[in-house]
Structure 1
Amino acid sequence: MDGYRDKNGVKTQLGFKAFFVPTFAGEGKGQMFSQFPGAEYPVLALSAYSGSLGVDSGLPQNVYQLDTSKMNEFKNEDDELLKKMLRPGEKLDLPDGGGSITFDGIEEWASFQISQQPGNGLALGGAVAAIAGLAASLFIQRRRVWVRAVRGADGVTVVEMAGLGRSESAKLPEELGDLAAALITTAPVAPEKPDAPENPDTNEAGSRPVHPAEAPAEGAEK
């Protein structure tokens, strides 16, 4: 509070520390605490200070914390620190006619925050897809297949296939055979070699008949 003048007319500043509980537990039961969140028995514990608040220094300050390093706390007639617990409608009088501060009452209110995040649906869909993919990877048996095609000297291309299972399975040879059968239906097959033509000079037994001119003469020396 700025613009206040003390009993000597000197301009000074006032500061107050307050602690509020909505349902006071009562004196003699330890420090101030509330027995219930509702305002059943509200009490405000108040203490007053005078001096310099430091608001004229130009430095930023915390509005929720009172800096009392350059302030003095008010004292009552018994030279004790001035503190008082106020109920709604009660007031705290400052000494030497310095004024008073009143606890007028309580106004209950509620704060609501409404936000919209359009990307939540996409994030949820991505998370569900990732979980589904991870679950599918636990049941799908992965395979590695190598295919090598080598052309021989006769111009025929020989295709070789091999497979490796990431998990133990007896179906790997069968699956590799099914893949080879599927490739045969689309890949060209080398034509079969024609049979060698039969020699007309050979008989069924495989021997060639001898020409009369080639037959040895009777009585010739052997």
Structure 2
Amino acid sequence: MSYRPEGLRTMDEADGAPAPASAPAGIGVRGWLRWAWRQLTSMRVALLLLMLLALAALPGAFFPQRPQDPAAVAAYYADNPGAAEWLERFGLFDVYGAPWFAAIYLLLFVSLVGCILPRTRAHVRALRAAPSRVPRRLGRFPVHATHTTTASAEEVARAVRRALGRRFRVAGTAEGISAERGYLRETGNIVFHLSLVGVLVALGAGQMLSYRGQAVVVEGRSFANALVDYDSFTPGTLVDTDDLEPFTVTLDELTSEFTWDAQARDFAADVTITRPDGESRSDTIRVNYPVTAAGANIYLAGNGYAPHLTVRDAEGEVAFSQPVPFLPEDDFYTSRGVVKVPDVSPGLEQLGFTGYLLPSAVVDEAGARSVHPQPNAPLVVLDVYTGDLGLDDGVPQNVYELDTEGMTPVTVGEEPATILIEPGQEVELPDGLGTVTFDSLPRFAALDLRYDPSLTVLLVSALLAMAGLSASLFAPRRRLWVKIGTDEDGRTVVEAAALARGDDPGLEPELERVMTAVRAAAPTSQEDT
């Protein structure tokens, strides 16, 4: 039986075969393979694999993933060595790169393609086939009508065709006129499933070809699209980190606006993007409004202050002089930072500082605090440590954390030494350790760079999936037949019926619209039943 729009067969039946049943015994290897293929390409298996893929992705939300956060994985090993070993065996620290996840992904891809191809062939055959024959007895249909008119059969036929318009596929036969619509519903269904394949392809390509990195850039300084300039970098499987397209981003100025009660209103990073050939352009990055460079989107992920501090050791030599990003911890931009000074004069102990930057500082009996994010009265509050910073141990360190295991806090009497520095001020360190100068207060921008060539395919596939799903849900599937004959008096007798699959409130108005056109062909004499 050929495909018709009002009767959707399952994908298992798309080639005219019945839904797959249990494979009988004794069918041989070829028969078993055919049976397995039919099972894999059935819609129920495709839905099962889709649900299984969603479940398989859940561990990635509960356990740290090595490609995104290797430090968190190392910490998990330290805290739970036994459980971490088993999680590693099952690939739960890299779910999306695990063989079992790839197997589910590929099976789903094959299942969808195997479902779609036979269904598409059947749909194409149905589009080429003529509408169904006119039934012998139209009166047995629930929705039917008759009309007698003085218009000729040719006039009635022309009126019916005009009423049906382009929305129906119309065929004229000796029995009458047969019309069908609803192929858009199946077309939408096929487009929806093809779009799902497009989404799967885009996601897979994105995992292999995309990369993402974060970098902190201080005003007046530049960031280059090279691995050494990233603070963190997550490459795709096929990304060659030595072959990143070069460009530089210079942060010219970062501006911010706050209300009187410290509510953020706007952040803007004015940047200059320079290509290797020397061509440059100025642009502005705002929250949720990235700029594009070499096919990558650059987002403004955060901002803060980076006080420029100069540290001189006990010999008076400059041991450290550069801006230090302090990370905001509250709405008033109370920011925490660390200064590590390993390059002191020979024979002297290394220095470490940890403390806070207060943009609008107020110091009273309760201590020092910031009352507004803008730098109205900046103040840096630091605790001082001496000893071994541990930078020569070969173990990576967080630049925003100070490892005090091999260090000793500097004290004044029995209390830890705390120094307060304002811009332009130089403060001597206790015990003749040197001095610290607060030179200036530039700002920094935390940039998030994302390169993903599959985003266009993903967007188009998602839009097509929505369009296809809407068509498959809302496009009506209808048949309509019209018989044209004559009675004893030579008048033209028109008999019509319509059929839809399921409840269709628009079916009767559709038939009435056709009959109205028939009546208009010769309105002077009409008799309806």
Which TM class, normalised by the smaller chain length?
A: 0.5 to 0.7
Specify the code of the residue in structure 1 equivalent to 2:350: Q
> Structure 1 pair 115/57, CA: closer, same or farther in 2 (3 Å)?
closer
> Structure 1 pair 67/112, CA: closer, same or farther in 2 (3 Å)?
closer
Q: 1:67 is matched with which residue: 403, 409, 424? A: 403
- 2:48 — aligned with what? none
Matched, 1:38 2:374: yes
Matched, 1:51 2:387: yes
Specify the code of the residue in structure 2 equivalent to 1:70: G
Deviation, 1:39, is 1.2
For residue 60 of structure 1, give the secondary structure of its aligned residue in structure 2.
coil
Q: Identity over the aligned pairs, expressed in percent?
A: 35
> Structure 1 pair 41/115, CA: closer, same or farther in 2 (3 Å)?
same
Q: 2:359 is matched with which residue: 16, 22, 26? A: 22
For residue 17 of structure 1, give the secondary structure of its aligned residue in structure 2.
strand
- 1:2 — aligned with what? 342
For residue 26 of structure 1, give the secondary structure of its aligned residue in structure 2.
strand
Matched, 1:128 2:468: no
**TM, length-normalised to structure 2:** 0.25
- 1:218 — aligned with what? none
For residue 40 of structure 1, give the secondary structure of its aligned residue in structure 2.
coil
> Structure 1 pair 168/4, CA: closer, same or farther in 2 (3 Å)?
closer
Q: Quick one: distance in 2 between partners of 1:104 and 1:37?
A: 20
Specify the code of the residue in structure 2 equivalent to 1:168: D
1:138-164 CA deviation, whole Å, 9 max, x = no partner? 323448xxxxxxxxxxxxxxxxxxxx9
Q: Quick one: distance in 1 between partners of 2:414 and 2:394?
A: 34
1:88-124 CA deviation, whole Å, 9 max, x = no partner? 1223322332211111121235566676766444433
- Give 1:68-217 correspondences, 5 Å limit: 68-76=404-412, 78-110=413-445, 119-142=454-477, 166-168=501-503
With CA pairs under 8 Å and 6+ residues apart, which has the higher RCO, 1 or 2?
Answer: 2
For residue 85 of structure 1, give the secondary structure of its aligned residue in structure 2.
strand
- 1:183 — aligned with what? none
Deviation, 1:50, is 0.8
**TM, length-normalised to structure 1:** 0.54
**Between Structure 1 and Structure 2, whose CA radius of gyration is higher?**
1
- 2:120 — aligned with what? none
- 1:216 — aligned with what? none
Q: Quick one: distance in 1 between partners of 2:454 and 2:343?
A: 52
> Structure 1 pair 112/48, CA: closer, same or farther in 2 (3 Å)?
closer
Specify the code of the residue in structure 2 equivalent to 1:64: Y
For residue 443 of structure 2, give the secondary structure of its aligned residue in structure 1.
coil
Specify the code of the residue in structure 2 equivalent to 1:65: E
Q: Is the 8 A contact 2:387 2:408 kept in 1?
A: yes
More strand as a share of residues: 2
Q: Is the 8 A contact 2:362 2:368 kept in 1?
A: no
Specify the code of the residue in structure 2 equivalent to 1:86: I
Structure 2, unpaired ranges of 5+ = 1-340, 479-498, 512-529
Q: Is the 8 A contact 1:93 1:99 kept in 2?
A: yes
Q: Is the 8 A contact 1:3 1:12 kept in 2?
A: no
Note the aligned Cα RMSD (angstroms): 3.6
1:66-88 CA deviation, whole Å, 9 max, x = no partner? 01111111112x33211022111
- 2:148 — aligned with what? none
Q: Is the 8 A contact 2:424 2:440 kept in 1?
A: yes
For residue 349 of structure 2, give the secondary structure of its aligned residue in structure 1.
strand
> Structure 1 pair 109/59, CA: closer, same or farther in 2 (3 Å)?
closer
